[in-house]
Structure 1
Amino acid sequence: MRRRFWLLLPLLSLAGALQAQAPLDLPQQAASAQPAEAADYQVLDFDWQDKSRQREVPVRLYWPAQAASAAVPLVVFSHGLGGSRQGYSYLGRYWASQGYASLHVQHVGSDRRIWTGNVFSLIGRLQDAAKESEALDRVRDMRFALDRLLAAEQGAHIDRQRIVAAGHSYGATTSLLLAGARPPDAPAGLQDERIRAAIIISAPPFYGQGAPEPILAPVRVPTLHVTATEDVINVPGYHSEAGDRLSVFEATGGQRKRLAVFTGGSHSIFTDRAGTGGVTLNPQVKAATRELTLAFLSSVFEGREEGLQSWHQRWKPLLARWQ
């Protein structure tokens, strides 16, 4: 079990029961998780292959329409266990509509393909996805995808000083490793110095590796941590309380870090799934989350703190904790 230092089973989006939530007094546009933009971005799919590892790296790129006329920042996004490049589109579309390119990387060893095939071998496929080798390959997928994009036609328009790692659940762990987290069993060279900030959504702890502080203290880039009070993972053979997400935040290094905890919700409320965590709360949390990420990045890259302050006032009814 020690070899599986990421213990990735908690990253299943199966967790999180549907919970009814009372409507809150929030802005009208929060009723939908879909951004209001029109045709101000492109969606481009690329089927890349890392020949050095003989591994497919499919990606989806949300590309801002104005990218040809100005250097644009970039978010490199990692999905949770069983996801794909099509997932978390509510974030990719919104970021692109606001001038951020968003590269969503699909990890073939732990993507949606684990749900296909013989149901009786599903547990085995999940265990394979939880292996240390796959956790390492996910990090390498992100580095490879970033390399390819920067070398492509679009790379000339990317601001190299504003590259962000982001991810949900398993993808949050992947992003932390890119940002500098160092489990004692991990090989050297996982951190990517091109990453200047990280968005960490529903991060699981590093089980089997002792106290989290030595692992996460090396993270020095600004981080935004997003979770919910009911962000609980409960699957056969594994249980993780919502407080584990807070422990990750507390242990993460760096002087610039933020935490948003929504009241209620579920582990999978941050995916594209509708209804999970509450049919009313679900789109509200998505709208609040996408706006928070942009306010955070504006603070990091432009020094504008007023966006975070106004965000807090705007979404305060949803929040159990903000710091």
Structure 2
Amino acid sequence: MSELTQSSDAALGAPAPVLSVSPVVLPTPERAVDLELRVSAPAHGTNLPILLLSHGQGYSNHLSSLNGYAPLAHFWAAHGFVVLQPTHLSSRSLNLPPDAPGAPLHWRSRAEDMTRVLDRLDEIEAAVPHLAGRLDRERVAVAGHSMGGHTASLLLGARYVDPRDGGEVSLAEPRIKAGVLLAAPGRGGDALVESAAEFMAFLTHTDYSTMTTPALVVIGDRDDSSHLTHLGPAWHADPYALAPAPKTLLTLHGGEHGLGGVSGYDVAETTDESPERVSAVQRLTRAYLRSQLYAGDPAWQTVSQTLTTGPNALGQVESK
């Protein structure tokens, strides 16, 4: 453990044992398959804030599902959140046909999954031993990586034009009070390479000006995503630059699209594997959400100052 990590841990407190239950199945007749999710929670405590976690895509079959993102889900749960991870219809683990409605990325249903989860918290509590009565339903946040960051942006208020009918789509979820976008897509239009504009047409008309909910946008300064954009790493900062305040941008030094390996432990497709970088993401995201959900909580100020200042800084922060 690095000296910086040890210093930041003082602000976060000791981790708790984590209980994880999956799959929790929510019967959903209007969906191609029932909605399944993993629930991770600290073993003890009450009035626990809720954190919705939206997975990305990628080459692996199960990282993009309720079985992925263990480095984040476990850490957040060990530090006081109840983490709810659905498997979206875009998951390779479901192997839905390419002509299924909404395929291949099911961008709209991803956000609708999260609203369903919030609508059915009673069922989730009943399905998970020792969870009933422990949720703080007034303190809800969302986090997502890559395509999951796009999902989070929709829930936080960003709007898109549905390429199927040209209608503007708003899927903002008012119960969500704060969010974290990890390596999320930037704007569309001329920022996209031709293949991305065809395959991800829903990104073509992106409007972050309506994303009013507080959010932390996390990017890597080496995440060029050349298969999507010709603008380089700066493209991933668009949800910060083009959205109204209050927003915070965290740029990780040396970070590529995996941000050190947030999608799973020892993932072969991570191009910038760095336990220290993952540790920074864990601690900074948790601290940000604590300070947003609990007025006066100093976690963000303390942890961000520790990890992003001085000669050994792991990244840099700007806010508006």
TM value normalised by structure 2: 0.76
Q: How does 1:38-187 map to 2 (within 5 A)?
A: 40-45=17-22, 46-67=24-45, 70-82=46-58, 83-108=64-89, 110-113=90-93, 128-130=103-105, 134-152=106-124, 153=126, 154=131, 156-185=133-162
Q: How does 1:1-323 map to 2 (within 5 A)?
A: 26-27=4-5, 37=15, 40-45=17-22, 46-67=24-45, 70-82=46-58, 83-108=64-89, 110-113=90-93, 128-130=103-105, 134-152=106-124, 153=126, 154=131, 156-185=133-162, 188=169, 190-208=171-189, 215-235=207-227, 241-253=232-244, 255-269=245-259, 270-274=262-266, 276-279=270-273, 282-304=274-296, 306-316=298-308, 317-323=312-318
Q: Residue 24 and residue 71 in structure 1: after superposition, are their counterparts in 2 closer, same or farther (change >3 A)? A: closer
Q: Match for 1:283: what amino acid?
A: P
* Whole-Å separation in 2 of the counterparts to 1:29 and 1:305: 17
Larger RCO of the pair (alpha carbons < 8 Å, separation 6+): 1
* Whole-Å separation in 2 of the counterparts to 1:301 and 1:179: 15
Percent identity for Structure 1 against Structure 2: 27
* Whole-Å separation in 1 of the counterparts to 2:204 and 2:88: 27
Q: 1:274 Cα shift?
A: 3.0
Q: Is the 8 A contact 2:161 2:169 kept in 1?
A: no
State the partner residue of 1:15.
none
Q: Match for 1:191: what amino acid?
A: A
* Whole-Å separation in 2 of the counterparts to 1:179 and 1:155: 27
Q: 1:28 Cα shift?
A: 6.0
1:62 is paired with a residue whose SS is strand
Structure with the larger helix share = 1
1:104 is paired with a residue whose SS is strand
Q: 1:184 Cα shift?
A: 3.4
Q: 1:105 Cα shift?
A: 1.2
* Whole-Å separation in 1 of the counterparts to 2:229 and 2:293: 38
State the partner residue of 1:13.
none
Q: Is the 8 A contact 2:178 2:293 kept in 1?
A: no
* Whole-Å separation in 2 of the counterparts to 1:211 and 1:54: 27
Q: Residue 233 and residue 150 in structure 1: after superposition, are their counterparts in 2 closer, same or farther (change >3 A)? A: farther
Q: 1:278 Cα shift?
A: 3.8
* Whole-Å separation in 2 of the counterparts to 1:248 and 1:299: 20
1:244-286 C-alpha deviation (Å, 9 max, x unpaired): 0112211122x3221110111210233225373444xx11111
Aligned residues: 278
* Whole-Å separation in 2 of the counterparts to 1:232 and 1:286: 19
Q: Residue 319 and residue 149 in structure 1: after superposition, are their counterparts in 2 closer, same or farther (change >3 A)? A: same
Q: Residue 86 and residue 29 in structure 1: after superposition, are their counterparts in 2 closer, same or farther (change >3 A)? A: farther
Q: 1:187 Cα shift?
A: 5.0
Moved more, 157-166 or 186-195: 186-195
Q: 1:151 Cα shift?
A: 3.9
1:50 is paired with a residue whose SS is coil
Q: 1:220 Cα shift?
A: 1.6
* Whole-Å separation in 2 of the counterparts to 1:321 and 1:310: 14
Q: 1:56 Cα shift?
A: 2.5
1:179-208 C-alpha deviation (Å, 9 max, x unpaired): 111113355551111111111111112424
* Whole-Å separation in 1 of the counterparts to 2:224 and 2:2: 23
* Whole-Å separation in 2 of the counterparts to 1:100 and 1:196: 14
* Whole-Å separation in 2 of the counterparts to 1:234 and 1:191: 29
2:35 is paired with a residue whose SS is strand
1:100-133 C-alpha deviation (Å, 9 max, x unpaired): 100011112x11337x79xxx99x99x9424xxx
Q: Is the 8 A contact 2:185 2:236 kept in 1?
A: yes
Q: 1:24 Cα shift?
A: 8.2
1:322 is paired with a residue whose SS is strand
TM value normalised by structure 1: 0.75
